[in-house]
Structure 1
Amino acid sequence: MDVLVLGSSYAGLATVHKLRKFLKDINITIISKSRIVRENTIFPLLLTNDIYIKDTEFDAKNVVESKGVNFIEGEVLEIYPNSREVKTNKGIYDYDYLFLALGGGYEENFRKIPGNEYAVMHHTLEGFLRLKDLLYKSEGNIFVGNAKSSPIEGPSYQVALISEYILRRRGVKSKVYLSTQSPKGIFGNIPNEEVISKANSYFKKRGIEVLAGKTVKEIKKDRVVLSDGTEIEAEVKSILPALSAPETVKRSELVDDSGFVNVSLPSFRKDERIFGLGDLAKTPLPRTARNAMISAENAVSTLLKDLRGVSLPMYGLGVLCVMEGGDDGGIFRMEKGKAFLEFDRHFITIKKMYSRMLVRSGFDMPFHGAPHI
């Protein structure tokens, strides 16, 4: 039996680890553009020199080949569900079961924002390194925000907090603006008014001006145009785009009108042979690294039950966000409708420890603090 995994980030590697743990007699192949994988949830700490690039990366090829898994460093070009084939620049690969873990089309969607050349995207390593350079040189205002339908705002919150911290340390009196998709502001889309009020009060205390209910429409050289027509003068603009499945997945006709792969929850199964994981799966909750690994856990458990009759726990999706804020930090968690928010510098230490564990294990971290369902 041949199992093919496309992508070697959180969902892809978590899939491989669990498959090999329970299925020693199958052929597993993982295809990835690069053998070097980075733990990107810790990237905001690159801005403050709390971590360095080497702390975020590992060689995925070495990790999986030590477990008897085939690693192909190549680019996925086309997916053919009807013939169960995947075309790459290294050849064509057949499969019995396919796990789609190619992530979301961040770069593709960022390029669709008018004037994107005047901004950085705080998602890729290159984006964070460019942002770092700008933050330590700029004397002007900083704008941080999301385009309409962006899937997650937590990184933007962190970048805004760290930007304020860097400007304060440099003695620069410029403004930091943060736009949110919800008209209620920070964490405004959750059903907990106490948490929303606490979060907005904290950002106000830090001197960050929250532009609630406004998304990025266009970027100009010296300003940002928001969805309501407001123009914000800013020298540095850091944006997260809208998200969808990558174009390669879209061409395979595996996505619906939402731009994502429509899967059944909690199994993340697209059909009998295909599972859609992580950022490219259609889910009601933010697309986070934690939820990506949970999607892999649930998908493999589903396949194990089908093939071997093995019953393993299934996990519920939720939100767990540890915010790095320069000289302070915070944690937000929401599970089964209950929300919790606290601010303390110690949460950054916890985040660094967990990130180090992720890197050292090659994303082989079966415990995600998620409830069983």
Structure 2
Amino acid sequence: MNITILGTGFAALTAVKQTRKQLPDAEITVIAPNKKLVYLPSIIWIPAREKQGKSLEVDLTKFFARQNVNYIQASVTNVTNKGRTVVTTEGEYQNDGLIIATGGRFIKKLPGIEHAITPCEGIAAAEAIRDKLDSMSGGTIAIGFGGNPNEPSAMRGGPMFEFLFGIDTLLRRQGRRDKFEIIFFNPAPQPGKRLGDKVPNAVLKMMAKKGIKTELGHKMKGFEANKVITEGTEFHADMILFMPGMTGPAWLQDSEIEKSAGGMIKANELCQVEGLEKTYVAGDSGSYPGPDWQAKQAHAADLQATTASQNLASELQGRVPTEVIKHELICIIDTLSHGVFIKRTEQGTTLLPPCRLMHFAKKFFEWWYLRQYR
């Protein structure tokens, strides 16, 4: 049997490992534009030169060889035939089972959004932040994030807090924080609430302590070259970092696959694509039932991929799939010197105050996680 997995991110690579574990004799094919994993959680350290972009890219050639994977370098353009055919830029490929992990896409509809840097677009974006900071002798830095109103989980708030606090720490280390004004903006009056009820107050207190100004509770209208514009205010900014909400991958728009109101692949609690057999989704491209605080990236994507792989194996072996998604959000908001540990489950939230040990724990986790793919 041929199992096809789309993507080379967290969810896709966990799906490779778990599928090989469940189906040791299966033929596994990975389709993706590049044979590499980019470890996005650590791009927050690029502006301070604590990480170089190349160190966060892992060539997957050896990992694919160990897992006995067939790799096809191509971009997905559609999934047809009730999941059994993947249409790509290099032709069509058939499968007996499919796991979609192609990631999401940032919603770039706000007027003037080209004037803002979107940090989580990758290494190049983080390097652009680094270079811009180096060129500035002072000024105003505006940092914020938005969401997808039809998909509460499709946002990237945590990394923006990290860029915010990391830039503050960097400027202090350089002895030039007094030459900069830092403004955090967000349409929500309590940003970060998805991380837990205690988090908004905690991060806002950290901002106040560090002299970071806030503009909260006003819907975004757009940007100009040196300006942030909301329905309640507008203000000057010499550098703008903005993370918009996310929607599904570009290829999904014209696909027969059922989509959620937010433009994601609609899935059930098994990670199974709605209405399709032996077809699953994991990570940012999916829309899953569950709490409105659920995450879809990094650790959460790994959990979804494990669920998808186990259920696909069950289907292919003639059993009824029963594994349901484990909803668990774990993150460390890093400040370049300290880390704030947050864990949220359906039982509640654990929030630890800033701690130097958590900063080093986050760096250690990168090494520990990537060693399996190097």
**TM-score w.r.t. length of structure 2:** 0.89
Does the C-alpha gap of structure 1 residues 83 and 299 become closer, same or farther in structure 2, counting only changes over 3 Å? Answer: closer
1:125 to 123, 136, 141: 123
1:346 is matched by which residue type in structure 2?
L
- Is the contact made by 2:165 and 2:335 (CA closer than 8 Å) also made in structure 1? yes
2:113 is matched by which residue type in structure 1?
N
Does the C-alpha gap of structure 1 residues 195 and 219 become closer, same or farther in structure 2, counting only changes over 3 Å? Answer: closer
Shift of 1:31: 0.5
The aligned residue for residue 225 of structure 2 is 221
272-281 or 58-67: bigger deviation: 58-67
- Is the contact made by 1:31 and 1:73 (CA closer than 8 Å) also made in structure 2? yes
The aligned residue for residue 272 of structure 1 is 277
Percent of aligned positions that are identical? 22
- Is the contact made by 1:7 and 1:100 (CA closer than 8 Å) also made in structure 2? yes
Indicate the RMSD between aligned Cα atoms, in angstroms.
Answer: 2.2
- Is the contact made by 2:312 and 2:321 (CA closer than 8 Å) also made in structure 1? no
Q: Take 2:320 and 2:181, find their aligned partners in 1: how far apart are those partners?
A: 56
1:326 is matched by which residue type in structure 2?
L
Q: Take 2:322 and 2:335, find their aligned partners in 1: how far apart are those partners?
A: 38
Q: Take 2:324 and 2:366, find their aligned partners in 1: how far apart are those partners?
A: 23
Mark the runs of 5 or more structure 1 residues left unpaired by the alignment. 364-373
Secondary structure of the 2:24 match is coil
Secondary structure of the 1:34 match is coil
Shift of 1:13: 0.8
1:250 to 253, 271, 280: 253
Q: Take 1:152 and 1:83, find their aligned partners in 2: how far apart are those partners?
A: 29
Secondary structure of the 1:278 match is coil
2:372 to 355, 361, 366: 361
Residues 143-197 of structure 1: per-residue CA shift (max 9 Å, x gap) = 1111342512101111111121222233142211112343123x234553x4432
Residues 226-279 of structure 1: per-residue CA shift (max 9 Å, x gap) = 2x2411211010111121111202221322332011111144443212112100
The aligned residue for residue 112 of structure 2 is 115
50-59 or 116-125: bigger deviation: 50-59
1:239 aligns with 2:239: no
The aligned residue for residue 308 of structure 2 is 299
Q: Take 2:296 and 2:219, find their aligned partners in 1: how far apart are those partners?
A: 18
Q: Take 1:340 and 1:181, find their aligned partners in 2: how far apart are those partners?
A: 25
296-305 or 251-260: bigger deviation: 251-260
- Is the contact made by 2:269 and 2:324 (CA closer than 8 Å) also made in structure 1? no
Mark the runs of 5 or more structure 2 residues left unpaired by the alignment. 149-153
Q: Take 2:322 and 2:359, find their aligned partners in 1: how far apart are those partners?
A: 32
1:157 aligns with 2:161: yes
- Is the contact made by 2:272 and 2:278 (CA closer than 8 Å) also made in structure 1? no
Q: Take 2:221 and 2:330, find their aligned partners in 1: how far apart are those partners?
A: 29
354-363 or 33-42: bigger deviation: 354-363
Q: Take 1:85 and 1:40, find their aligned partners in 2: how far apart are those partners?
A: 30
Shift of 1:337: 4.1
Shift of 1:354: 1.0
The aligned residue for residue 341 of structure 1 is 351
- Is the contact made by 2:278 and 2:315 (CA closer than 8 Å) also made in structure 1? no
Shift of 1:17: 0.8
The aligned residue for residue 371 of structure 1 is none
1:262 to 266, 283, 290: 266
Secondary structure of the 1:249 match is helix
Q: Take 1:125 and 1:82, find their aligned partners in 2: how far apart are those partners?
A: 36
Q: Take 1:101 and 1:83, find their aligned partners in 2: how far apart are those partners?
A: 14
Runs of at least 4 residues off by over 4 Å: 309-315
1:143 is matched by which residue type in structure 2?
A
